[in-house]
Amino acid sequence: MTTVSVIKADIGSVGGHVVVPEELMSIAKKELKAAVEKGIILDFHVTHVGDDLQLIMTHNKGEMNEEVHRLAWDTFMKCAQEARNLKLYGAGQDLLKDTFSGNVKGMGPGVAELEFEERKSDPIAVFMADKTEPGAFNLPIFKIFADPFNTAGLVIDPKIHGGFKFQVMDIKENKLVTLKTPEEMYDLLALIGSTGRYTIKKVWRYDDLPAAAVSTDKLYAIANKYIGKDDPVAIVRAHSGLPAMGEILEAFTMPHLVAGWMRGSHTGPLMPVAVEDAKCTRFDGPPRIIGLGFQVSNGKLFGPVDFFADKAFDITRQRALEMMDYLRRHGPFMPHRLHEDDMEYTTLPGVLEKLKDRFTKAD
Ligand code: F6R
Ligand code: MG
Ligand code: MG
């Protein structure tokens, strides 16, 4: 069995919360290269989306493996130390605990992992977003695995006609539920339409073939205060009895609205970009997503291909920019600014607290 582990953290960036510098990426590359030599992992690819450092790793130790998680944690700690030396912005930001305790869950970094038996050929996509939250993946993951208007194979490929199972996490209650499409599609949508509360965590084909994994880590739930959005990642397997890569990418052609953007407090379009454009600028955005394609071959990563570095996504980007411009004109007003309930874990309550005693009873 092969496991793909994508573990990410914001541990410091340049020009504010904008870009992870090469200085940190090269430390991460060096650490992971040494780990390959020691046999801890089989292969890796280091990249970044905006201010988030991304460790994409393969191994055969299974999900939630202590050694692999420790490697990621120690790598982030080393990078954070250098970030502090360089006085980078937000140095060590997502490393919320002092000591490692078995795995990085609940410690700040985001994690998506998928263990599977390699097929004759195993193409995967790794998606990584900045300035948004795990619920941003609900819509595209639903489209990929359950929407016949997106994924033609659901209708015409006998191998996926049987549908998919979605594991959904209730972030508030810390509970899981699994629903099967197409039979329970409406129930699934009833949950995952609430993107701030319910997030898709795993997807399997009807016969339990692992298909996708999404990070569901919530920084505020760990720190009990606003730290920044949770900038999610996802792993999606493609082809030969799963949605085709083109069907997977089709789900990102509508720049759907997500929560995050400036101060984690605004709604904005999720814009698919090339790795070289993965830096959030205007109003700290708009929220961006990159997608890298690999072949997982005997535990090694062959690739990547930078999926969104393509003209076919120009129209999506253009639409995202127009939407961004329109939304910005709302300034501090909803629905550009998030709903009051979603502002609970931002810096707004600190302001409202001051006004509390100024209110007098109305008749
Ligand atoms: C969003 C994000 C940024 C910051 C904003 C203010 O996730 O990280 O939008 O919230 O740039 O940053 P501070 O409070 O560090 O000045
Ligand atoms: Mg950040
Ligand atoms: Mg970020």
Question: What would the mean pLDDT of 188-200 be, rounded to a whole number?
Answer: 96
Ranking 55-59, 93-97, 222-226, 353-357 by mean pLDDT, the lowest is: 222-226
**Given the CA of residue 89, which atom of ligand 1 is nearest to it?**
15
Closest ligand to residue 8's CA: 3
Cα 16 to averaged position of ligand 1 atoms, centre (Å): 8
What average pLDDT does range 328-346 have in this prediction?
Answer: 91
Across the chain, mean pLDDT equals 95
Q: What is the pLDDT of residue 71?
A: 98
Question: Judging by DSSP bridges, how do beta strands 198-205 and 210-214 pair with one another?
Answer: antiparallel
State the distance between the two ends of the chain, measured CA to CA, in whole angstroms. Answer: 68
Rounded to 5°, the CA angle 109-305-161 comes to 85
Each residue's pLDDT tens digit, 239-261: 999 999 999 999 999 999 999 99
Give the per-residue pLDDT at 344: 76
Active-site residue set? 10, 226, 229
- pLDDT (tens digit per residue) in 6-45: 999 999 999 999 999 999 999 999 999 999 999 999 999 9
Domains (range + CATH), the chain: 1-117 (3.30.300), 119-351 (no CATH)
> Closest ligand 1 atom to the C-alpha of 228?
7
Question: Which has the minimum average pLDDT: 8-12, 227-231, 270-274, 275-279?
Answer: 227-231
- Running DSSP on this structure, what letter comes out for residue 172? T
Distance 55 CA to ligand 1 centre (A): 23
Tell me which residue of 88, 96, 69 sits closest to 25, measured CA to CA: 88
Task: Count the neighbouring beta carbons within 10 Å of the beta carbon of residue 113.
Answer: 22
Residues with CB under 6 A from ligand 1: 16-17, 131, 228-229, 262-264, 284
Ligand nearest to the CA of 345: 1
Which atom of ligand 1 has the smallest separation from the CA of 263? 10
Residue 9: strand pairing partners: 53
Q: Which helix (H) or strand (E) holds 84?
A: helix 66-85
What separation in Å is there between the alpha carbon of 284 and the centre of ligand 2? 10
Whole-structure pTM value: 0.97
Distance CA 284, CA 261 (A): 6
pLDDT tens readout for residues 119-151 = 999 999 999 999 999 999 999 999 999 999 999
Structure tokens at 35: 């780990």
